[in-house]
Structure 1
Amino acid sequence: MTSPAAIAIGCSAGGVDALMTLLGGLDAGLQQPVLVCCHRSDAMDILGDVLGRNSVLPVIEAVERQPVQPGVVHLAPAGYHLLVESDLNFALSVDPRVNYSRPSIDVLFCSAAEVWRQALIGVILTGANADGAAGLLRIRQLGGVAIVQSPADAEATAMPQAALDLAGADYCLPLSDIAPVLNQLCHEYSHSQDPGRR
């Protein structure tokens, strides 16, 4: 794997608490953009504010044609699929729901995988359906790294278990260990001349 260029995170049921823990544990000097798809209703329009109070990185909601910014957490807005285009700008879509979800983790992960390929880290956290499994598989197929929260540690086991069943994982960890591993991977690959560790 080359130096990670981006981190993509997906979650559903129980995901807000999980994201607060994970984002609060990241290195404040992290240079990679973080893309987050959390299943939520339109009523949850304060998600960015909630996460921003716990995150060491700035948290913003992605908007159409906005450039991907390093060291920033970008949230998929409620009611829209979030995609990354080849010019590293965001695109929003109101295409049909995928796995009963819009935004869909699969849609975000698959588009991000095509852009960053082996330089993408995908993370699946707690959730109650199978969204994200196919996207995580695509990340691994293109050489990226897959991290899955241990189902035994998740508030809702279905999503991480589906990801493990379909895609497997390079790391299957309790929530408290995920941010330290992300920090280590980003630091290690940013300062290493040997991209071959996998």
Structure 2
Amino acid sequence: MRKDLVVVGASAGGVEALRQLVAALPRDLPAAVVVVLHMPAGGSSALPAILARSGPLPTATAQDGADLRNAHVYVARPDHHVVVQDGVLRLSRGPTENGHRPAINTLFRSAALARGSSVIGVILSGALDDGTAGMAAIKSRGGLAVVQDPADAIYPGMPESVLQHVEVDHVLPVVRIGPLLARLAGQHADAIAPEPASDTLLTEVAVSQDDSGAAYGDIPRIGSPTNFTCPDCSGSLVEIPGEGVQYRCLVGHAWTADALMDAYGGTLERAMWTALRTLDEKASLAHRMVGVSRGAGRELVAERYVRQEEEALAAADVLRKYLLRGGVREETGA
């Protein structure tokens, strides 16, 4: 068995890093390359065309059932996970991870399970920590871990997270990653069989695939219940042990602690803007009713509306100042 599968994950700042990486790959690379870049669900992606112009390897959007061919680059499509299964690529609209589909962890876990020590994982520029759990799975199955030097990344969050939680084999600037992969690809993989795949890895890979709905019921078995709720569906979250804290709800949406904190910050901010709008509307209605009540000679009622208007305006002023200075994002670290 040889090291013949390279899986690459990137997010914010990742397009330029990917361009530099593929530019340095040789046209006879003895490995297939599969790329996940976080992207919006709607529309199409120009990334395959960008990478095709950047380097010598044929590059295309991943297709369901496509064989993995050496010296080819496959790019995940919007709103679909790409997974390695039975020696081919599969597309899935399984549950999102950290709010993303495609997600890096989903690809990395499936590659680790399917191909073991023949896998080389690469994490490039990106915020938060998607890819850490997936890279841990690759290492647990005998694969190699390569990380862009955080000092070289436009957004160092993802590389830093992997370095904090996983025993990484290579850390270097992105311009040196392509030549490194050219040297590593095709080398003999470790002949020693890795430990059997954990129940957690088997379950999480199954959950990421469309045809595995039965696995959803297994999620409570691989973790511990919490009082937290899923930002995507409001279901209860189960805490799953591993490299870094991870959570899944009972229908499969997955979150790391950092991504969950960021999502909670966004939910809280939306709720506070809704509250601000409600306070403004309450003050406006109270002001109108002051005039109506005084016009009808009901001065006591008018005074009650005056107090309600003043209270609503005061509360709205506090909330508006807090939101406009970015209070929610500062306190959640988002």
- Please, what TM-score do these two structures have when normalized by structure 1? 0.91
Higher helix share: 2
Q: Matched residue of 2:185: which SS? A: helix
* Aligned twin of 2:108: 109
- Please, what TM-score do these two structures have when normalized by structure 2? 0.55
Counterpart residue identity of residue 113, structure 2: E
Counterpart residue identity of residue 92, structure 1: L
After superposition, give the CA deviation of every residue in 1:2-58 in whole Å (9 maximum; x if it has no partner): 521210000000111000000000111102100100111234521111111002100
Q: Please state how far the C-alpha of 1:185 moved relative to its aligned partner.
A: 1.2
How many angstroms apart in 2 are the aligned matches of 1:129 and 1:64?
A: 29
Q: Please state how far the C-alpha of 1:195 moved relative to its aligned partner.
A: 6.9
Q: Map residues 1-198 of structure 1 onto 2, 5 A cutoff.
A: 3-41=2-40, 42-43=42-43, 45-86=45-86, 88-186=87-185, 189=187
How many angstroms apart in 1 are the aligned matches of 2:113 and 2:47?
A: 27
Deviates more, 1:76-85 or 1:37-46: 37-46
- Contact map agreement 1:7 1:32 (CA 8 A) in 2: yes
Q: Matched residue of 1:45: which SS? A: coil
Counterpart residue identity of residue 54, structure 1: S
Q: Please state how far the C-alpha of 1:93 moved relative to its aligned partner.
A: 1.3
Q: Matched residue of 1:140: which SS? A: helix
How many angstroms apart in 2 are the aligned matches of 1:182 and 1:65?
A: 25
Larger radius of gyration between Structure 1 and Structure 2? 2
User: What stretches of structure 1 of length at least 5 have no aligned partner?
Assistant: none
* Number of matched pairs: 191
Counterpart residue identity of residue 19, structure 1: L
After superposition, give the CA deviation of every residue in 1:81-101 in whole Å (9 maximum; x if it has no partner): 111112x12211112210221
Q: Please state how far the C-alpha of 1:168 moved relative to its aligned partner.
A: 2.8
How many angstroms apart in 1 are the aligned matches of 2:179 and 2:37?
A: 21
How many angstroms apart in 2 are the aligned matches of 1:3 and 1:76?
A: 24
How many angstroms apart in 2 are the aligned matches of 1:78 and 1:142?
A: 28
Counterpart residue identity of residue 97, structure 1: T
How many angstroms apart in 2 are the aligned matches of 1:19 and 1:124?
A: 10
Counterpart residue identity of residue 14, structure 1: G
How many angstroms apart in 2 are the aligned matches of 1:34 and 1:22?
A: 11
- Contact map agreement 1:5 1:116 (CA 8 A) in 2: no
- Contact map agreement 1:30 1:71 (CA 8 A) in 2: yes
- Contact map agreement 1:83 1:107 (CA 8 A) in 2: yes
Greater RCO, 1 or 2 (C-alpha within 8 Å, sep 6+):
1
- Contact map agreement 2:44 2:77 (CA 8 A) in 1: no
How many angstroms apart in 1 are the aligned matches of 2:67 and 2:37?
A: 20
Q: Matched residue of 1:53: which SS? A: helix
After superposition, give the CA deviation of every residue in 1:119-175 in whole Å (9 maximum; x if it has no partner): 110000000121100000000010000000011110001111111112131001111
Deviates more, 1:149-158 or 1:41-50: 41-50
Q: Please state how far the C-alpha of 1:118 moved relative to its aligned partner.
A: 0.6
- Contact map agreement 2:9 2:122 (CA 8 A) in 1: yes
How many angstroms apart in 1 are the aligned matches of 2:182 and 2:105?
A: 24
How many angstroms apart in 1 are the aligned matches of 2:99 and 2:85?
A: 23
